[in-house]
């Protein structure tokens, strides 16, 4: 399993490196504005960092899925299926690598944002503080939570599991469309249709589960999404094992 994950990491390292390089350039601009007392440069650097963090995290996650699509629809994936590994292990390694890479990227950008916001507050004497900024973000969630270790933990757990379910759903859509339309141009379009249909169903079901407080909402929703993701993973692996392995 670890060898398969290392192999997946080697295939996706370039996109991660590019995100890191672009982030470094934006961070230099931001710090130049901070220490040079240039608010315009700081604002520009901040805007770049926000955009890069959003698209960077998405890019890290999507690249792994694009590699999966290429593995299943071109000769690139033949060698994977020829290894003494089951489809459950192969798909599991892809999903775990995707999840870990996205999680680490998210933590990296969160840590960088915390440091940069702290510097901006100190250098420019902004009256607001980190706690107020975080609380404003938490107030925009479907179910509001107070700024606390427990509140942040359940929200973060919910985001991680939601992303995991999203990755598993996307992988299933790619696998199912590859089974029906291997190598054809409509493959990606069909994958998108399947993905959005299943994602809508999961979200529809999750939002209608009863809960008693905000902790219960995020915990119950996470458990439901995790259970659905596990079922989708098993079905996806079975399809790979029976229909796509060579």
- The pLDDT tens digits for 45-80 are 778 888 888 788 778 777 777 777 777 766 655 556
pLDDT band, residue 243 (cuts 50/70/90): low
In 3D, which of 109, 117, 108 has the Cα closest to residue 30?
117
19 in Cβ contact with 59 (< 8 Å) = yes
Per-residue model confidence (pLDDT) at position 18:
86
How many residues belong to the chain? 246
Residues 6+ away with beta carbon under 8 Å from 78: 246
- The string of DSSP letters for the chain reads -HHHHHHHHHHHHHHHHHHHHHHHHHHHHHHHHHHTT-HHHHHHHHHHHHHHHHHHHHHHHHHHHHHHHHHHHSGGGHHHHHSS--HHHHHHHHHHHHHHHHHHHHHHHHHHHHHHHHHHHHHHT-SS-HHHHHHHHHHTSSS---SSHHHHHHHHHHHHHHHHHHHHHHHHHHHHHHHHSTT-TTHHHHHHHHHHHHHHHHHHHHTTS--SSHHHHHHHHHHHHHHHHHHHHHHHHHHIIIII--
For 183-237, how does the pLDDT look when each residue is reduced to its tens digit (9 = 90+)? Answer: 556 666 777 788 888 888 888 877 777 766 777 777 888 888 888 888 988 988 8
CA trace torsion 217, 221, 224, 228 (10° rounding): 170
- Whole-number Cα distances in Å, 18 to 10, 54, 145: 14, 14, 35
233 in Cβ contact with 164 (< 8 Å) = no
pTM of structure: 0.72
- Rounded CA-CA distance 215/32 in Å is 41
- Rounded CA-CA distance 135/96 in Å is 31
More confidently predicted of 146 and 162: 162
The pLDDT of 169-194, averaged and rounded, is: 75
Residues 6+ away with beta carbon under 8 Å from 109: 23, 53, 56, 57
The pLDDT of 140-162, averaged and rounded, is: 71
For 107-126, how does the pLDDT look when each residue is reduced to its tens digit (9 = 90+)? Answer: 888 888 888 877 777 776 65
- Rounded CA-CA distance 95/8 in Å is 10
């Amino acid at each position: 399993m670890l060898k398969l994950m290392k192999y997946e990491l080697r295939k996706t390292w370039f996109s991660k490196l590019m995100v890191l390089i672009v982030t470094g350039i934006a961070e230099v601009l931001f710090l130049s504005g901070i220490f040079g007392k240039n608010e315009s440069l700081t604002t520009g650097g901040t805007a770049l960092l926000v955009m890069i963090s959003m698209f960077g995290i998405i890019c890290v996650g999507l690249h792994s899925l694009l590699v999966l699509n290429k593995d299943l629809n071109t000769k690139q994936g033949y060698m994977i299926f020829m290894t003494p590994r089951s489809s459950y292990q192969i798909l599991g390694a892809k999903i775990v690598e995707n999840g870990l890479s996205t999680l680490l990227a998210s933590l990296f950008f969160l840590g960088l944002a915390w440091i940069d916001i702290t510097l901006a507050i100190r250098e420019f004497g902004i009256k607001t503080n980190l706690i107020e900024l975080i609380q404003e973000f938490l107030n925009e969630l479907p179910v509001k939570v107070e700024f606390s270790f427990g509140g942040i933990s359940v929200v973060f757990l919910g985001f991680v599991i939601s992303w995991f379910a999203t990755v598993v759903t996307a992988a299933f859509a790619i696998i199912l469309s590859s089974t029906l339309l291997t190598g054809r141009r409509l493959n990606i379009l069909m994958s998108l249709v399947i993905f959005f249909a299943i994602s809508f169903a999961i979200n529809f079901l999750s939002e209608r589960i009863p809960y008693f407080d905000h902790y219960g909402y995020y915990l119950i929703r996470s458990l439901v999404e995790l259970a659905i993701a596990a079922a989708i993973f098993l079905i996806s692996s079975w399809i790979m094992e029976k229909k796509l392995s060579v």
